[in-house]
Amino acid sequence: MTKAYVIDVSAYQPQAAYYAFWEKWKTRGVRGAIIKLSESTYWRNQYGAGQIAAAKHVGLKVSGYHFSRFIGDGNRARLEANTAIATANSMGLEHGSALVLDYEEHAGYQSANTLAAIVFCNTVKQAGFIPVFYSYSGMRDLWDYEAIYKATGAKLWIASYPTMAGVTQPDYEYFPAISTHTDAWQFSSNAWGEQIDISVDFTGVFTMEEKVTSGGNLDSVRFDGNKLIVSGWFATAQSQGKPYAYSIITNEQGNQEYGRTQVNITSRPDVPKVYPDIPNGASSGFNASFNYINQMKGQKLHLIFRYTDDPAGNGNFVDYVSLLDLTKSAANLDNIDTEVFSNKLQVSGWFASDMSLGLEHHFLILYDTAAKHELQRIKYDAIKRDDVQQAHPGIYASQLSGFSGQFDYSKSLVGRQLQIIARYSDDEQGEGNHIDYWFDPIKGPKMPILDGKSETEVLVHEFSASKAPDGLINLKFK
């Protein structure tokens, strides 16, 4: 086991763009450099390209890191990962190098943060970089590294400082035992008293060149009706003598199987370009289709890609395991307004959920937030939303997620705190088993004013008029 040192720098160390900076640290035992490349989607290190070039010039192994701001937002995580990838490519960080997710936001929930981190790590992995997860040991309740590791194979770089004073070596009595997979420990932010972050590298991820002989990625998950369709690649030196390929879905513990299908291996010419040392990488692609069943919905499952010597998919085998999250929901309230002349509150939007399988009845509920009780309930027919399916192909039934409906509306509701609830249910009245989405509270909108003075223009196809009591006119229009 190597125990070489590695230091990390950012735009706060512009001097790291000079050879002399790295030559000094090399004499102190540093064998690797980790350069801050980007932050969120808006910031790039203006010195990054020069710092990478200078560290390479003196013979150090160079890695990059991205400071994240996405917290538990998976869509945002993918955008930030793409920012990091594009920045790494433009600054000259070689494919096959470590690209770190620096996660330091003290916010969010463990489950969402973990899933977003998985999205980030898998995205950079697919782009040909080695994913690494970095955070502070004191933040362990905000993420689940073991889940990240299982889903992505990401390396772990953990920070914990026994002292803020200047140090020249780690005090192993204070080593943070976060995981048995720990690859590097950032033990000080004040190496040699110079306010430089320094780490000890246990496995060589930041300091030693190594051949990658096994790898894979779950590229996409999408639904087509009640079919769950997955695709990706898996290649390994251990696949020799194992001519049968399978895709298998199990529960997270691996003791309950929900689906198994034999797959045909397809061409992936992109894989050997990134991982030239993996045997048969050019023939490592797979596509598999499973029936989406009730036992799967609302679960975090394992998706296994397997090579085996057994025609039934057992025997001697080698697996690549990815995390399959079937707990996803998304929604948007596109419009809410009062209809002119009709005393109706018109609402429209969409709600898609992996948990909606088997819940065939659709409802909209108007809820009084302050009084905490339901005011009205209406049933609606699902509306086709191709735009939602395009944005969320991995959420069940996203194509049929649209809704539109009208609640009775009166002056008594104006200004009150109201909420719209979208519901899927297996009961004709909307009770029974159901899944809800509660949209943010709104203030009841004003009613249209018809005061005999204001003019309101309405475009219609047909209309008729007749006299009504009190000198009013009754209008009917289409």
Check: CB of residue 6 under 8 Å from CB of residue 32. yes
H/E element, 208: none
Q: Give me the architecture of the 214-325 domain, per CATH.
A: Sandwich (2.60)
Q: Give me the architecture of the 4-201 domain, per CATH.
A: Alpha-Beta Barrel (3.20)
Amino acid letter, residue 385: R
What do you get for the CA distance between the two ends of the chain, in Å?
79
**pTM to 2 decimals?**
0.58
pLDDT grade for 144, boundaries at 50, 70 and 90: very high
- Per-residue pLDDT, averaged over 348-361, amounts to 97
- What is the sign, positive or negative, of the torsion defined by CA atoms of 256, 259, 263, 266? negative
Question: Where does 329-443 sit in CATH, by number?
Answer: 2.60.40
Number of neighbours of residue 63 by Cβ within 10 angstroms: 28
Q: State yes or no: pLDDT of 213 exceeds 80.
A: no
Check: CB of residue 419 under 8 Å from CB of residue 372. no
Amino acid letter, residue 370: A
pLDDT of residue 463: 72
Check: CB of residue 6 under 8 Å from CB of residue 184. yes
- Say which DSSP state 57 is in: H
pLDDT of residue 2: 47
CA distances from 60 to 52, 57, 133 (A): 10, 8, 21
Residues 35, 321: Cα–Cα separation, whole Å: 30
Map out the domains of the chain as residue ranges: 4-201, 214-325, 329-443
Residues 330, 323: Cα–Cα separation, whole Å: 19
- What is the sign, positive or negative, of the torsion defined by CA atoms of 295, 297, 299, 303? positive
Q: State yes or no: pLDDT of 1 exceeds 50.
A: no
Q: State yes or no: pLDDT of 322 exceeds 90.
A: no
Amino acid letter, residue 476: K
- Say which DSSP state 447 is in: P
Residues 181, 56: Cα–Cα separation, whole Å: 27
Phi and psi at residue 325, to the nearest 5° = -100, 110
Q: Mean pLDDT score of the chain, rounded to an integer?
A: 91
Which two tokens mark 39? 């932050």
Q: State yes or no: pLDDT of 462 exceeds 90.
A: no
Of these ranges, 60-74, 270-284, 317-331, the one predicted with the greatest mean pLDDT is: 60-74
- Say which DSSP state 276 is in: T
Query: 453: Cβ–Cβ under 8 A, 6 or more apart, which residues?
Result: none
- Per-residue pLDDT, averaged over 318-347, amounts to 85
- Asked if 214-325 and 329-443 have one fold, the answer is yes
Report the range of poorest mean pLDDT among 222-226, 248-252, 351-355, 467-471: 467-471
- Per-residue pLDDT, averaged over 300-323, amounts to 89
DSSP SS3 for 95: coil
Residue 67 CA from chain centroid, whole number: 16
- Per-residue pLDDT, averaged over 425-447, amounts to 94
Which two tokens mark 403? 């809704």
Burial 267-277 (b: 16+ CB within 10 A, else e): ebeebbebbee
DSSP SS3 for 431: coil
- Complete DSSP assignment for 322-388: EEEE---EEEEEEEEEEETTTTEEEEEEEEEEGGGTT--EEEEEEEETTTTEEEEEEEE--B--HHH
Residues 5, 170: Cα–Cα separation, whole Å: 10
- Per-residue pLDDT, averaged over 91-119, amounts to 93
Share of the chain above pLDDT 90, in %: 74
Amino acid letter, residue 400: L
How many Cα neighbours within 13 Å face the side chain of 222? 13
